[in-house]
Structure 1
Amino acid sequence: MQTKYAPISTRIKAVIIDSIAIIVLMYAAVEVFNLFESIPNYIRISVFVSLFILYEPLLVSIFGATLGHFFNDIVVKQEANENRNINFLIAIIRFMTKSLLGWVSLLTVNSNSKKKAIHDYVAQSVVLPYKPNKKASTS
């Protein structure tokens, strides 16, 4: 059986959901800040930058998926071992490449059999449909 890879349309839907999730998290941070009399600007900036930079790498390295990936039934895995998540450092490099290139990173998705974007080449990752572990039922 040949492995299927996530199409560009699904990946774009995941990015849109993740953008909304980050906005919601930032709004929640503002609401928490409003509970205090004064929060120094450096703390506000640190929280917002951390949310933006760490959201995707943390979730992808720990769970193999962000909220956008989860709701679109896709996961990010190592190309060499499609059962393993990429590590945190590689996830950061992947995210930074993706962020710096923007939509240009997606230009290669339809030109290769594994539907890899430029940031996937850099991270040696692939985006796959989510397949839950099927356990034998004991009835």
Structure 2
Amino acid sequence: MTLTFATISSRIKAVFVDTVLIVILAYLISETLTRFEDVPVYVRISLFTIIFVLYDPLFVSLFGATVGHSYFKIKVKSKKQPQKNISFFSALIRYMLKYTLGWISLLTISGNSEKRAIHDMAGGSIVLEE
């Protein structure tokens, strides 16, 4: 089985789509919550945590792709077993590092044959074209 690794441009476009989606979801949730009186703080925190922190790791671990990845026909898979998704824990590590390092994480993509970013190395993942 020949693996085709995703390009940096498709990865950047996927992140852009996911960012727009997250902003829209946050706006919709915020607007919805304003229609209710006395929404507990823990409900607000929980909803925004799900959107901002858990969206990427949940989608990547369950489906192998976020909405942005799917739109650009790329998948995040396990480096050791490319037919499998990475675990939630690996996806969470991968996302936190991607979020923390930002564009710096992408600097290693052109420097290796598997086009792996720093966050892919930390999460034990590869990003493939479908």
TM-score bracket, normalised by the shorter chain, equals over 0.9
If the length of structure 2 is used for normalisation, what is the TM-score? Answer: 0.94
SS in 2 for 1:83: coil
Whole-angstrom CA distance in 2 between matches of 1:36 and 1:19: 26
- Structure 1 stretches of 4+ with a deviation exceeding 3 A read none
Aligned to 1:37: 37
State which drifts further: 23-32 or 58-67: 23-32
- Which has more radius of gyration? 1
Question: Is 1:60 the equivalent of 2:60?
Answer: yes
Name 1:118's counterpart in structure 2: 118
> How many angstroms apart in 1 are the aligned matches of 2:89 and 2:35?
34
Structure 2: how far apart are the matches of 1:79 and 1:68? 21
Q: TM-score, normalised by structure 1?
A: 0.88
Per the TM alignment, residue 27 of structure 1 is displaced from its structure 2 partner at its CA by: 1.3
Q: Match of 2:13, as an amino acid?
A: K
Q: Unpaired segments of 5 or more residues in structure 1?
A: 131-139
Let me know the Cα RMSD of the aligned residues.
1.2
Q: Distance in 2 between matches of 1:29 and 1:98?
A: 25
Q: Distance in 1 between matches of 2:85 and 2:45?
A: 30
Post-superposition shift, 1:43? Answer: 2.7
**Counterpart check, 1:86 vs 2:86:** yes
Calculate percent identity across the aligned residue pairs. Answer: 48
